[in-house]
Structure formats: C-alpha cells, structure tokens
Amino acid sequence: MYIFLHHFEPISSQEVDDRFLPGILIAMTWGVVWSYTGDEVLPNGKLFGMVIIFLCSFVGGKIVELIKIPMVPPLPPLLGMLLAGFTLRNLPVINTYINIIPTGSSYLRNTALTIILVRAGLGLDPEALKKLKGVCLRLSMGPCFLEACAAAVVSHFTLRFPWHWGFLLGFVLGAVSPAVVVPSMLMLQDKGYGVKKGIPTLLIAASSFDDILAITGFNTFLNITFSKGPVYKTVLKGLCETLAGMLIGAAMGFFCRYFPSKDQKGRHWQRACLILGLSILAVIGSDRLGFHGAGGLTAIVMTAISGAKWSKEKEKVQKIVAKTWAVFQPLLFGLVGAEVSVQTLESNIIGTCVATLSMALMVRILATYILVSFAGFSIKEKIFVALSWIPKATVQAVLGPLALETTRSMNTPHLEAYAKTVMTMAFLGILITAPNGALLIGLLGPNVLSFDGIENDSTSST
C-alpha cells in the first residue's frame, strides 16, 4: 500500500480546498436545512425544488464556462443556468418532484433585482459621465424607449395585445443586460480596445441607466394594467412614487457616504452589508406597502450617491456585492427557465414571438446607430455599439414572471394568457440575444475597435 501511494504526486492543501470545499459546503448546507425543515428538503417537499434548481443551475453555469471554442469568446454562464431550469421543468419524471413555492420564488427574484440595481448604482462612473454625458444620455434612454414602442406596436398586430400590455411587454424586452455587456466590455478594455474613445466605459455606464428606464416603464404599465381606477390617477401615483424614491434614495445615500466612520475596521464589509440591507428593505418593503415604483429608484439613487465618495473602497464593496450576485444568479435564471413549460406553448405562438422580438431588435439596432452619431465614432465603431446593445438577460429574468404572478395574485385568469406570452418572450429574448450578443462583442471588438494598448496601460497604472 505504501509503494502504491508513494507513486502519487502530493497535492497542496490549497488544491485540496479547491477540489473538495464546494462539495463539502453544499452537503453541509443541505444537512443544516434538513435539520431545520425535515422532509421539506426531500423529494416532493416545498424546499426540494428550490434546492435542486439552484444546484442544477449552478452546475449548468459551470458547464457552459468550461466550453472553450477556439477563436470564439466564452459564452455567458447564465445560458447554462436558464437551460438547467427549463430542462428540470420539462423532464417527464423529474418535474413531478419539483414544486416551487410562488411566494418564495417572487421574493428571490426581487432580491436578485435589488442586487442588480445595487451593482448598477455602484458601476456608475461620474468622471466618465461628465466626459460622455451627451451620447451616454442618448444611448441609455433612446434605444430602450424606441424598442419598447416598437414591441408595443408589433405585438398589438401580431399577438393581438392591448396597448397597455404591449408597452408592458416592450419595457420587459427593452432593457440591455449588464450581466453580458459589462464583463465583455471590461475584457475589451483590459486588452486595450476602444479605450481612447471610451467605448467600453460608455456602454458600461449607459447600461445602468437603460435598466432604470426599463424597470420604471414596466412598473408604470404594470400599475396601469392592473389598476381599477382612472388612468390619470395611476400615472400621478407613479410620478409621486418616482419622486419619493429619488428623494429617499438621496437622503439614504448621503447617510451611507459617512457611515460607518473611518476608524471602523473592515469598513467595506460594513458598507456592503448596509447598502444591500437598505436596498432590499426599500424594494421589498415598498412592494409590501403598495408603492411598487419607489423601491428600485431608492436603491439605485442611494448606491450611486454613496458610492461616488467611497474612492478606492468602492471597488472592495463592488467585489462583495458581486459575490452575493454569484449566489442569486443561478436561482434567478433557474427559476425563470422552470417557469416555461413546453406543454403549454403553442407552436404558432413561438414563431410569432420570435418574429416580434426580431422586429423590435431591428428598431433598437437602427436607433442605436443613429443616436451614437455625431459622437466622434467611425462607421465601424457605431455598428459595434449598435450590435453590442442587444443582449438581454437579467432584467428580463426578473420582470418576465412578474406579470404572471400579478395576474394570479389578483385573481384575473382572463389576463393569464397575455402574462404567459410575456413570460415566453422574456425567455426567448434571453435565449436568443444573450449568447449571440456576447459572441458579437467578443468577435467584432478586436477587429473593429482601435487598439490603444499603450493608453490602456497608462490609465490602469493611474
């Protein structure tokens, strides 16, 4: 036995940790949850479905990360997470053991939305906004709004959607995905492509505002769709909620700028926990009180104002929030995939949804190309920006199921067909645009953008 073991090369303790620690933590977590809940985490239990979806989505994301194709950029892990949830829902035997708690699923998606908003607020760069404020404003608002209008018009004639449902669908589809755009742009920026003209910085900054507009528009038309009073009262309520959210967020942001004090140890951890806790309280608490449009704006205004004065500590807070997102991302996309059932889909609906999505995307691409004109970009660079502005994922995963949940909670079964179509469109939008958008960015970037390696080195050293 000694001779047999002696032939194996010793491995370091770090390698042992990397190989076995994730599995040990998962097994330990499962055991702890079982000790509290008993049979609820076993097959047919209320928590079993959540646990299985999380584990399978996590594994699906890792499998997609391992796919390496020569000369092709890596695919986003969220694609594997989405397909894992979809597969679990539609496997004939396994789906009978997976029961999802609607309330728990809703809270998890809202928490994921909160983390997205926090990351968007922390990702805003005031200096970049000052430099590119004109084109950044056009890029962050124009394509989203025009795509929403195009989707509303097209869906009204192809899917027979009422106008308010058409605009609700449009703002679900109108958001660009920071989960795809930001890592892709950071990769190009690190390699020195497009740095001199600030193209990666522009797209990173504009993606945050794009998501804010989409979420605000969706909440507005969701309130209009399910409100029982006059439309003007709903619109006034939405405006009041927007103003209240911005004011409360600004007050909380100035508070978080200077608290905790400088003499605290591990202040970046305290700040990360503080903004996450306050943001979750704002988003979920405002929903509990019936002010659905205020929480998201409160979260993003608070993080943007507080993070603007954190200097070097801001980067540490961003890393902690990114680790939190790594936990919620598999749950979010796995649950979205699990909402789509093949048995309930009609073949003609899928074709119509793809056609509607394609026409709305064409309007978005054309609008983006026009709106970034007169900003000093070449034709190739404008084409790159336009094609980089199509990936959809995070916001669609959060907003897509909300209409369906609202129809069920308000006992309006006659509207459920519209809500299921919105959910299907969100699913198809992620499935089609996320991988293709990432591939387009990775393939076109090095061939279209100018190489500014020397400039990039100097900026990174500062």
Mean pLDDT of the 217-242 span:
77
Query: CA nearest 324: which of 149, 65, 108?
Result: 108
Would you put residue 192 in left (φ > 0), alpha (ψ -120 to 50) or beta? left
193 forms beta bridges with 451
Q: What is the pLDDT of residues 106-161, one digit of tens each?
A: 788 788 878 878 887 777 666 666 666 778 888 888 899 999 999 999 999 998 89
Q: What is the pLDDT of residues 182-212, one digit of tens each?
A: 778 877 877 888 878 778 878 877 887 788 7
Percent of the chain with pLDDT strictly greater than 90: 10
Contact 241, 215 (CB under 8 A): no
Among the residues of 347-448, which ranges form H helices? 347-371, 379-388, 394-409, 416-448
- Is the pLDDT confidence value at 459 over 70? no
Domain ranges for the chain: 42-461
Percent of the chain with pLDDT strictly greater than 70: 85
**Any idea which of 7-16, 84-93, 94-103, 242-251 has the lowest mean pLDDT?**
7-16
Distances from the Cα of 166 to the Cα of 175, 248, 356, 405, angstroms? 15, 31, 11, 18
- Is the pLDDT confidence value at 320 over 90? no
pLDDT, residue 145, reads: 92
Question: What is the model's pTM?
Answer: 0.77
- Is the pLDDT confidence value at 241 over 50? yes
Q: How confident is the model at residue 366 (pLDDT cuts 50, 70, 90)?
A: very high
Query: CA nearest 276: which of 252, 258, 254?
Result: 252
Mean pLDDT of the 227-252 span:
79
Q: How confident is the model at residue 15 (pLDDT cuts 50, 70, 90)?
A: low
Q: What is the pLDDT of residues 380-431, one digit of tens each?
A: 889 999 998 898 888 888 888 888 888 887 788 888 888 888 988 988 888 8
Class of domain 42-461: mainly alpha
pLDDT, residue 462, reads: 35
Contact 217, 186 (CB under 8 A): no
Count CB-CB contacts under 10 A for residue 196. 15
Contact 446, 191 (CB under 8 A): yes
pLDDT, residue 9, reads: 45
pLDDT, residue 8, reads: 41
Query: CA nearest 175: which of 207, 139, 221, 132?
Result: 207
pLDDT, residue 152, reads: 94
- Is the pLDDT confidence value at 252 over 50? yes
Mean pLDDT of the 62-88 span:
81
pLDDT, residue 289, reads: 79
- Is the pLDDT confidence value at 365 over 80? yes
Q: State the average pLDDT for the chain.
A: 79
Q: Which residue type, as a one-letter code, is found at position 321?
A: V
pLDDT, residue 229, reads: 66
Query: CA nearest 400: which of 365, 367, 427?
Result: 427
Q: What is the pLDDT of residues 23-58, one digit of tens each?
A: 676 677 777 777 877 777 777 677 777 888 888 888
DSSP state of 162: -
**Any idea which of 240-244, 254-258, 309-313 has the lowest mean pLDDT?**
309-313
- Is the pLDDT confidence value at 98 over 80? no
